[in-house]
Amino acid sequence: MNVQRHGTDAAPSFPGIAGRAADTDAAARIPAQNWKEITDSGYLRLFHPRKIGGTGADGPAQVAAMEALARACPSTYWSATVSALLCANLISTYGDHDTHARLLDGLLSGRLLAAFAVVETSAGSDAGTYRTTVRRAGPSGGGGFVVNGEKSRITNAPDADLAVTLARREKGPGDDGPDWCLAFVDLRQPGVHRYEIPRMGLRGMPWGGLVLTDVQVAETDVVPVPLDELSEGMTWGWLLVSVAAVAIAESALAASVRHARDRVSFGRPLAHMEGVQAQIAESRAQIDAARLLARRAAVERAAGRSARTLIAMLKIYATEMAVEVTARAVQIHGAGGVTEGHEVARLYRDAQMNVIGAFASNRLREQVAEAMGLGPAVYRAFDWLRPSGLGQDPVGLGGLSQQAEAA
């Protein structure tokens, strides 16, 4: 990885991947050369301790590398980081290092690509609506487990070798374990059907669905996990999306600055116009604020401390900030900014995907409020009369009706 400067910090860069970013978006496919450069750079090992084959990089180093790859190509970043950071961390955290060394070795070396199979066709942020199940195969099925269900809108689903799958456990008599599990599913076997889903942004990223029909899973690859505990591990996904947003915004700002310097209108460069200067300055402040928050969150998370609420706030701010910054970039570029194939048009499309990705920002706002002691955002039946006292007042509406009838 080379080193270049952007913003106020030195960071690694991926010039080859950056040079292919527009073609990656247009072809809706990540080139094989991108994967070679990522693997050769050591990027896939950054997020893990040396004892399992990682490099043991600290939080700031991880964020710097993540932002560099996301600046080069957001689609490539998403695909590689979901596999190497999110999925590998879930396996490392909840699996067994000896039993699952083969999976971790494959993901960190780039031999395997993983998908985090969570969302379903009719279920998004609400895990209570998920229907994918894991049950024992029985003697006739050769032992172990089988998985049935459909996961949709999943990064890497069309190409992945492995799916870290969230599923309900069909529990037998006397089984008082968790209702949920992670199943490490080999997708290179019968019973797996894949499909791709067209989308607005991140077009180069493999994205689609998995239909699993009696797919075999070894007993050691089904790990019961309480859902509330699993949600802590999933914050890695919020972090990777947030860093992608910061990188996209930084790229949009850099494009805006170049255009403002080069474009002359009404006898002066756009950069000399007060309105354009204000937009650029606002973007600079917002990006740097998000980057600082991301580094703080990464330091906490890499140190093994819970940073759930911090990362939730980061995800909300960074992803919505990137939409604002890219929208300003489109305005600064004028008609060129809405032309298919233009850099800022692509960045604007990519920015929108991060607001929804990993966990919708509106639901994260509820979780931040819950952490402040405002109670769970769960619907309960509510009687609008009783809090007002009308439902308890014998001379309230009911009493008045009786008096009216008597009159």
Give tens-digit pLDDT for 176-217.
888 999 999 999 999 999 999 999 999 999 999 999 999 999
**pLDDT value at residue 406:** 47
Return per-residue pLDDT of the chain as tens, 407 residues: 443 333 334 456 799 999 999 999 999 999 999 999 999 999 999 999 999 999 999 889 999 999 999 999 999 999 999 999 999 999 999 999 899 999 999 999 999 999 999 999 876 666 677 899 999 987 665 679 999 999 999 999 999 999 999 999 998 888 888 899 999 999 999 999 999 999 999 999 999 999 999 999 999 999 999 888 887 778 888 999 999 999 999 999 999 999 999 998 888 999 899 999 999 999 999 999 999 999 999 888 778 788 889 999 999 999 999 999 999 999 999 999 999 999 999 999 999 999 988 888 888 888 888 888 887 766 666 666 665 555 555 444 444 444 444 44
Cβ-proximal residues to 31 (8 Å cutoff; 6+ apart), any chain? 20, 23, 24
- Phi, psi values for residue 3, rounded to 5°: -120, 130
- DSSP of 300-355: HHHTT---HHHHHHHHHHHHHHHHHHHHHHHHHHGGGGGSTT-HHHHHHHHHHHHH
Rounded-to-integer distance, Cα 51 and Cα 288, Å: 34
Give me Rg for the CA atoms of the chain: 25
**pLDDT value at residue 171:** 86
Q: Which of 163, 152, 132, 151 is nearest to 199 (CA)?
A: 152
CA 88 to mean position of chain CA atoms: 14
Cβ-proximal residues to 168 (8 Å cutoff; 6+ apart), any chain? 130, 131, 132, 133, 134, 179, 180, 181
- DSSP of 269-294: EGGGSHHHHHHHHHHHHHHHHHHHHH
How far CA 41 is from CA of 61, 62, 68, 109, 151, in Å, comes to 14, 13, 12, 11, 32
On whether the CB atoms of residues 227 and 179 are closer than 8 A, the answer is: yes
- Phi, psi values for residue 388, rounded to 5°: -80, -15
Rounded-to-integer distance, Cα 195 and Cα 132, Å: 17
CA 297 to mean position of chain CA atoms: 15
Write down all domains in the chain, each with its CATH number in brackets: 2-109 (1.10.540.10), 114-225 (2.40.110.10), 234-374 (1.20.140.10)
- Phi, psi values for residue 210, rounded to 5°: -130, 125
Q: Residue 364, Cβ neighbours under 10 Å: how many?
A: 21
On whether the CB atoms of residues 134 and 170 are closer than 8 A, the answer is: yes
On whether the CB atoms of residues 206 and 155 are closer than 8 A, the answer is: yes
Dihedral of CA atoms 205, 156, 298, 69 in degrees, nearest 10, equals: -30
